[in-house]
Structure 1
Amino acid sequence: MQLTKSNKTKFILNPIMVGMLGLSLQVHAEKEYDNDYGMIITANRSAQNISDIAATVQVIEEEQIVEQAQSGVEFKDLLANLIPSLDVGSQSRSNAGQNMRGRTALVMIDGVSLQSSRLVSRYFDSINPFNIARIEVVAGATAMFGGGSTGGIINIITKKGSDEEGTHYESWVSAQSGFNNSEDLQYQVAQSISIKQDKLDARLAISYDKAEGAYDSNGDMIIQDPAQTGSQYIDQLDVMGSLGYEISETKRLELTAQFYDSGQDSDYGIDYGANYAYAPASSSEEVGMVEGYNLDDQASTTRYMLTANYSDSDFYNQTMNLQFFGRYESYRFNPFYAGTSISASEQNTTVFGSKLVFTANPIDKLNLVYGMDAEFEKSDTTQHYYDLATAGVSNGLTLQEIGTTGRYPDVETTSLAGFVQADYDVNSSLNIHSGLRYQYTHTHISDFVAATQQSYELGGLAPEGYFDEIEGGSNDYGNFLVNLGALYKINRAQQVWFNFSQGFEIPDSAKFYGVGSYNADGSVANSINVADSPLDGIKTNAVELGWRLHNENLSTQLTAYYSISDKSIEVNKSDYSISLVDDKKRIYGLEAQLDYYLTEEVTAGGNFNYIVSETKSDGKWVNLDATTASPSKLTAYVSWQKALFNTRLQTTQMFDYTDGDDKDLDGYNTVDLLAGIALPVGRVQLGITNLLNSEYQTLWSQRANYYYNAAYNDSLFNYEGQGRTYSVNYNVKF
């Protein structure tokens, strides 16, 4: 966080933020106190009280999720408001560049990863908040979950059947608008039914959310993201069902299924000018959204997911949890202009896997968690091409598909992993833990004609089948990950801990392989292939020192963290080779969260993440590139709750950032007002997001400008933040 003079002024002159923070200095009243921090499974893969975990963890409860979501706060922003180390949201379909502690976060639903070997940043375009029971968060690298968790874990736990006998219903009806015009509207209807009868419980829920146009603080329609796709004119359907059966006092079987479809159907598109005259970087024309967009298959996210869980709390004096899961998903993007062509990619992924976890106490004071994970994944990616002449004469608004080619080689990945975690109570105050995970990964890459050459064949520049395939092949690699730490309980209300843990990133195989140069006769001259350029995982070492306190009036957590990685993958386009090169990156900072009860009715608090991201260049540490570095962030709130009424005023400040090449990320501040009132039947929740109608560019917009501005008009990637927006939600449980 660079507190420049401008930054300091913005912070000091923000009266709402100062007022909120000032409230925390007031004298507070006594309230009934419960020392239970709450249980969390995600941290060490077994149920533990937070006070027993040597890591930065939190549970976002259903009440917190509901308050934000029903007040019109978008899901990615909701998470950023409540998770200290998570970057601010993109306000688009993508969560690209939305890191935790400056690194990649592993996002899961009920313990099932949403990541795949071909990385697509739509992990938060996965579920409607109506179906979320709570969210478990682990900040920082963790050795117990394998690849993709160098920044932390966000595990979304879904709602299940009722705990109370009988049939129960829940309904949501909501709408939101900035009242700019008739296109400025979003609404949702959601209904669930849950039952509990003796040993059986079940829930079925359907949520439908329709979003139309989004408008900035000046009342102009926000330009849609041409690269990662936007969140306007989206129809979202989330159907989720669960069935649980208590086989005996110790055994339970649970099935969960989800169908999720989030598809765009927009009549508005970007006006690129005749023959895309406004698209190049040389154009000074300000592009904008216009009516008349004509595309049959627009951007979409579709997912089918099924999980089966079996648990036995008395399996040979151990607790056993067995999970089987399957996931199919399809991601489609909108056409993107690339100078000589216009095309859109589509990825299909199928995943099957299982997880087996045992928890045991072989001797007094020793707790063991051990097990294994197995997963098989298959993915294919295609590229849809559109007639460039038709698109050109329509200013990029009418798109007619002319054919499909391959985008990347098909990838099949098999992973097997074993792990063990040991916790030992040295005495009543001190606990030490250590863990080890080994993950073996086998990757098979299909033979593949390079994507550019396939487009030549499609466009008639070469006969079909003219170009030879680049040879695929298989690659095997393994990674050992360790963690070690200690937790000391100062008293029943507070603890301190130290933790060292390793994480690793799985390389995106499809993105690297299947490219090369060709001879005039269509034979392969040189290529990046599996045999010559095998890949391996890249490790990150992370340490943290933390303290937390939970008493009758105050709940707070403070952590200092440091992570370092020393390798990256580099592609040499001159000789078509891949190599692991020395590339030291260190990220360190301080994150905190605080909730303070001023009285039984008034609470104030917030969270912050002060972060420094650096890379070593010419022997010196310099700020990491703005396209990937996380800026510091602060949130604050004050809430008041009576029996029938609640209100919350909250603010989020992203701070300025400048990298080693003087590329800037401009900070911004937003304020939201949330309020609810209980009716004789049901409850109404009201919200005003961006209360002060602040004008700003989103974090992803600023990153995208650096990604693409060398070739494209800057205004194509100027995604303004949404202006002041009003929302109303009626919800009832009966």
Structure 2
Amino acid sequence: MAMAAENEEQANATQLDKQIVTATRSNESLATLPYTVQVVSQDQIALQAQAGVDLGTVLGRLVPGLAPGDNSATSYYQSLRGRKVLVLIDGVAQRTNKNVSRELTSISTANIERVEIVSGASAMYGAGATGGVINIITKKGQDEEPVFKTEVGMTTSTENTDDDQLAYNVAQSVSGKKGKLDYYLGAAFDSRGHFIDSHGDQIATDPNQVGRDNTDALDLMFNGGYQISSTKRFTVGAEYYNEEMDTDYAADFGDPDAQLLMLPEGFLGAGGLYNPQPKDGLNMSQQPSSERKSLTLNFTDQNFLGQALTSQLNYRSGDYYYYPYYGTPLYLDTNWQAVNQAVTQAYTDSLMAGDDAATAGANASAALTPAYLGNSQAKSSITQSRIETEAIDLKIALDSQLDVGERTLSLTYGLDYIKDSGKQTSTEYDYDKWFDSDQLNYVETGNIYQAGPSAESETVAAFLQTAYPLTDQLTLRAGIRHEYIKVEVDDYTSGEDVMNAEVYSSQLSDTDLQALAALSGMTAAQLLGALTAGTAAALNAEDFITYSDTVTIREGGEEEFSATLLNAGLVYDFNTQQQMYFNFSQGFTVPDMARLLRSVSVFSDVNEPGPVLDSTNVDAIKTDSFDLGWRGQFDTIQAQASLYYNVSDKYTHFDKVTGVVELRDQTEKVWGFEGSINAHLTDNISTGATYAYTYGETETETNGWEALPVDRISPQKITSHLTYNNYGSFSVALQMLQMLDTDKAHKDNVANAEFEGYTTFDLLTQFALPKGQVGIAISNLANESYQPLYNQVRAYPSTGASTDLPAQGRTLSVNYSIEY
């Protein structure tokens, strides 16, 4: 399943004997599990990461059903089997009620021992795992004597060797045991410069989910353990991660059209003509960043009333900034004096032409709208999102072994409790100063608005998981979990409402507007409202422009969700070398409530504003998942294959034009195939390949069944490798990643993007030195010019499309590591 060789011990190990903890919350042999499971080792991670890529990109190369990473700050688009994946760190679910989606990028690969991936819907760790679970296992102390490890590295583009595009990494760790104590202390620092494309040009930073160019990242980790007795153990884990962008280059949003500005075929240009370029001279005091803190306490007792007890308490918090972005409201900044003069001139000209007063008045009224449009400049708001999260997580599980007949029944049961809170705010920047500076000068106005209501959720769950060998060859696993989630939402004042009201109420005192209103027999508010509504209708822009001079406080509330989730699976052993398995499991997720409710504003109101929870569809999503698979471990060949199908009765829809997220009551189904094979051709030469095919569709009210877009369903993915490993001295691996073209979703709905496939090659080498080891990696060996998957599909006006952002060209990385 790996794309490059591991060390000799790992190469000779039996894959099916590997012990994993993710699938059942207790140590189990992979061969006994009715799931598609993959274990990515420390050596595999280190080999891939020496090319300067993050964990999301590493796993996208190694895990067949996982969508590819793109080395950005987010893993939002990395679906597993077409659905969301739940990320754990040492068994702690990283989800909160704000879906930040930076879990796979906010940890250094230098601190990771291995990663376990369980594909398919799962409820074992609660809500959020409708596509599967990725459990990141961090390093612990193992050897009796202290072991120090130092790693240093550098990455450069081969097409542009300027100093400001270089990337550096350094990591230092120490681990060991002393008596009953064991410890691991690690620190990793990464500094990245410009990203360079295949033509040697700097790539503009991604203003959507944030690029990782020109960033500095620090990851500090401590894991300590104390063996209280032969059966009792206490451990503590602490981590601090911080990544900040520090660049002088702005993201260029293009040249605004003075009249249409951000409208679908205005600001960005008809047909997607946006072509972002980096701009020197950025002035932004708070650049995009990620900060994460975590503290975990574990206590285990292998003989607690004849059972094995596992308990875990975790506290974690996060603070995340995004790139400033456009959004509603859009408005027309009007020179009312010029409008009044034009209307007065029309009235005067009509009288001078011999018209009577009534006719002159009619001519003046007819001149009002053209004068209004001709003396107005389209403007927008520009704000920066900040998300703050905090969570407390408590887990208690017991593992029992009972004799039933002549066989052993395994029981794992327990309770989970999670309390987490999240809020999102928008810091406003001065639009005029930003616009006049050619999009370089971000000056805060001092206004901070709500970007969705603050929310707090509590989760209580009880679960039972069983395993029983029905025969010597057939094992049954089954389980049940009941989960209850309560979400409390605060009263909410939409930032869009506030900004919209500020824009229009400030104009009502204009004496020229008041004079025009009196001439029309209206109040200033009535005239401005009528002109705004007429303009919005004429431009087909009601979703972007609306008149409101008041602000509504929308009442918060409480929602409760509960679900009983089942799983059952069979594993049949043909012999010690191969098994077949079938599994049914259910997953459960509550969408990001604040994100759903963020779009509730004067722009979405149909009737009078009411409680915020009544303003949009809010519900949980339950997914049924089926998996039929086979795996085998032979003398020189490892292989596995699986067919899967999953279905849900709801669908989270993101409108790429308006930026609105809504939950739709429509069926969504996904099916596909995954396969992998690895073969040792000789003692030193191995080869392998993976293939993944996923297809999904949803049943719409108007068009029937439509293919799901590529940002949800990854295109077909093929990987392969050819590796030579002279164990202990030298290894070299040539690997390929191929993404195939697809236009299925585009044919069903032209709003969905087509995808143009690409093929990349990487060369990874390692050399043993008398002291230490050197790794040399060349990524994108052929210097392929292409756009990553999500830069082709995630284009929407409200945050400045990242369409046309190219991928990095060929890079050369050199790394040195030593243990002592």
TM-score normalised to structure 1 length: 0.90
Query: Would the aligned equivalents of 1:96 and 1:700 in 2 still touch at CA under 8 Å?
Result: no
- The residue number in structure 2 matching 1:358 is 398
Aligned residues of 2:54 and 2:109 also touching (Cα < 8 A): no
2:200 aligned counterpart, secondary structure: coil
**Equivalent residue of 2:88, what SS?**
strand
The answer to whether the Cα contact below 8 Å between 2:645 and 2:669 also exists between their aligned partners in 1 is yes
Residue 207 of structure 2 contacts residue 799 of structure 2 at CA under 8 Å; is this kept in 1? no
| AA matched with 1:648 | A
Using the TM superposition, give the Cα deviation of residue 294 of structure 1 relative to its aligned residue in structure 2, in angstroms: 1.0
Tell me if 1:178 matches 2:157. yes
AA matched with 1:114: Q
User: 2:147: which partner in 1?
Assistant: 168
Mark the CA change 1:493 to 1:69 in structure 2 (over 3 Å): closer, same or farther.
same
Q: How does 1:247-262 map to 2 (within 5 A)?
A: 247-262=228-243
Q: CA deviation at 1:285?
A: 6.8
Q: Point out the structure with the larger strand share.
A: 1
> Matches of 1:359 and 1:231 in 2, distance apart?
43
- Superposition deviation, residue 96 in structure 1: 2.3
Shift of 1:713: 7.6
2:52 is matched with 72
Matched with 1:13 is none
Q: Find 1:223's aligned residue among 204, 211, 229.
A: 204
Alignment of 1:207-246 (within 5 A): 207-246=188-227
1:24 alignment counterpart: none
How big is the shift at 1:621?
3.6
From 451, 475, 480, the counterpart of 1:431 = 475
Deviation per CA, 1:434-475: give whole Å up to 9, x if none: 111111001100011112123346769479x96341000111
1:487 alignment counterpart:
571
**Helix, strand or coil for the counterpart of 2:574?**
strand
Cα deviation, residue 514, structure 1: 6.1
CA shift for structure 1 position 337: 2.8
> 1:263 maps to which residue?
244
Q: Of 20, 44, 49, which aligns to 2:29?
A: 49
| Contact 2:209–2:322, Cα closer than 8 Å, also in 1 | yes
Residue in structure 1 matched with residue 809 of structure 2 by the alignment: 723
Kept in 2, the 8 Å contact 1:515–1:528? The answer is no
Q: 1:570 to 1:153 in 2, by over 3 A?
A: closer
Structure with more of its chain in helix, by fraction: 2
Cα distance in 2 for partners of 1:50, 1:160 equals 22
Q: Which residue of 2 aligns with 1:560?
A: 643
SS of 2:635's equivalent?
coil
Would you say 1:635 and 2:723 are equivalent positions?
no
Q: Tell whether the 8 Å contact from 1:365 to 1:426 is kept in structure 2 after alignment.
A: no
Following superposition, the deviation at residue 580 of structure 1 comes to: 6.6
Contact 1:73 1:689 in 2 (8 A): no
1:381 Cα deviation after fit: 1.0
In structure 2, give the amino acid aligned to 1:376: K
RMSD across aligned positions (CA)? 2.7
Say whether the 8 Å CA contact 1:71–1:685 is kept in structure 2.
no
**Aligned twin of 1:125:** 105
Q: Residues 399 and 438 from structure 1, CA distance in 2 versus in 1: closer, same or farther, beyond 3 angstroms?
A: same
Hey, what's the Cα distance between the residues in 2 that align with 1:596 and 1:177?
33
CA distance in 1, matches of 2:255, 2:596: 35
Q: Does 2:736 correspond to 1:651?
A: yes
The answer to whether the Cα contact below 8 Å between 1:372 and 1:416 also exists between their aligned partners in 2 is yes
The 5-angstrom pairing of residues 517-536 of structure 1 reads: 525-527=608-610, 529-530=612-613, 535-536=618-619
**Residue 394 (structure 1) aligned with residue 374 (structure 2):** no
The correspondence for 1:613, drawn from 656, 673, 696, is: 696
Relative to structure 1, the CA distance from residue 713 to residue 99 in structure 2 (aligned partners, 3 Å threshold; closer, same or farther) is closer
User: Greater CA radius of gyration, 1 or 2?
Assistant: 2
Query: Is the counterpart of residue 329 in structure 1 residue 289 in structure 2?
Result: no
Aligned partners of 1:713 and 1:305: how far apart in 2?
Answer: 33
1:407-441, Cα deviation, whole Å (9 max, x unpaired)? 11110000001110111111110111111111100
Pairs aligned (count): 694
- 2:530 equivalent to 1:445: no
Distance 1:370 1:681 in 2: 48
For the Cα contact (< 8 Å) 2:115–2:137, is it kept in 1?
Answer: yes
Higher mean C-alpha displacement, 152-161 vs 74-83: 74-83
Aligned residue for 1:80, secondary structure, equals: helix
Query: After superposition, what is the alpha-carbon deviation per residue over 1:8-44, rounded to whole angstroms, capped at 9, x for unaligned?
Result: xxxxxxxxxxxx99xxxxxxxxx96647530011011
Q: Distance in 1 between matches of 2:42 and 2:183?
A: 18
Residues 265-344 of structure 1 mapped to structure 2, 5 A cutoff: 265-272=246-253, 280-282=267-269, 284=273, 286-338=275-327, 340-344=380-384
Partners of 1:349 and 1:440 in 2: CA distance = 21
Report the Cα distance in structure 2 between the residues aligned to 1:224 and 1:627, rounded to whole angstroms.
20
| 3-state SS in 1 of match to 2:454 | strand
Structure 1 position 476, deviation (Å): 1.0
Give the whole-Å Cα distance in 1 for the aligned partners of 2:602 and 2:721: 60
Deviation digits for residues 123-171 of structure 1 (CA, Å, limit 9, x no counterpart): 212200000000010011113222111111111010011x221211011
CA distance in 1, matches of 2:783, 2:469: 53
Instruction: Tell me how far 1:352 sits from its aligned partner.
Output: 0.4
Contact 1:515/1:527, CA 8 A, preserved across alignment = no
Structure 1: state its 5+ residue gaps. 1-19, 22-30
1:687 aligns with 2:771: no
- The residue identity in structure 2 corresponding to 1:627 is D
Q: Are 2:745 and 1:661 equivalent residues in the alignment? A: no
Give the AA of the match of 1:281. L
Cα offsets for 1:216-271 (capped at 9, x unmatched): 11111112111211111100000001110011111111100000001101111134
Q: Which amino acid aligns with 2:783?
A: N
Pairs within 5 Å for 1:471-482:
471-482=555-566
- Whether the 8 Å contact between 2:274 and 2:804 is mirrored in structure 1 is no
Correspondent of 1:624 among 708, 712, 715 = 708
| CA–CA distance in structure 1, aligned partners of residues 171 and 652 of structure 2 | 45
Q: Shift in Å at residue 324 of structure 1?
A: 0.2
Contact kept in structure 2, 1:91 and 1:721, CA below 8 Å: no
Task: Name the aligned partner's letter for residue 600 of structure 1.
Answer: D
Cα drift, residue 578 of structure 1: 11
CA-CA distance at 1:536 after TM superposition: 2.6
Q: Within 1, Cα distance between the matches of 2:617 and 2:106?
A: 32
Match of 1:60 in 2: 40
Structure 1 range deviating more: 301-310 or 339-348:
339-348
Q: Go from structure 1 to structure 2 and tell me whether the alpha carbon gap of 1:402 and 1:482 turns closer, same or farther (over 3 Å shift).
A: same
Q: What SS does structure 2 have at the residue aligned with 1:372?
A: strand
Equivalent of 2:682 in 599, 603, 608: 599
- Secondary structure of the 1:341 match is strand
Q: The residue matched to 1:209 in structure 2 has which SS?
A: strand
Moved more, 678-687 or 662-671: 662-671
C-alpha displacement of 1:272: 4.3
Identity of aligned residues (%): 34
Contact 1:391 1:399 in 2 (8 A): yes
Q: CA contact under 8 A between 1:626 and 1:703: conserved in structure 2?
A: yes
Q: For the structure 1 residues 614 and 148, does the alpha-carbon distance in structure 2 shift closer, same or farther, using more than 3 Å as the test?
A: same
Verify the 8 A CA contact 1:43 1:138 in the aligned structure 2: yes
Alpha-carbon separation, structure 2, partners of 1:514 and 1:337: 15
- Contact 1:211–1:233 (Cα < 8 Å) also in 2: yes
Instruction: Return the alpha-carbon distance in structure 2 between the equivalents of residues 578 and 131 of structure 1.
Output: 36
For residues 638 and 285 of structure 1, do their structure 2 counterparts lie closer, same or farther at Cα, with a shift above 3 Å needed? Answer: closer
2: distance between equivalents of 1:34 and 1:413?
Answer: 43
CA 1:177 to 1:461, structure 2 compared with 1: closer, same or farther past 3 Å? Answer: farther
Distance of 1:518 and 1:58 partners within structure 2: 48
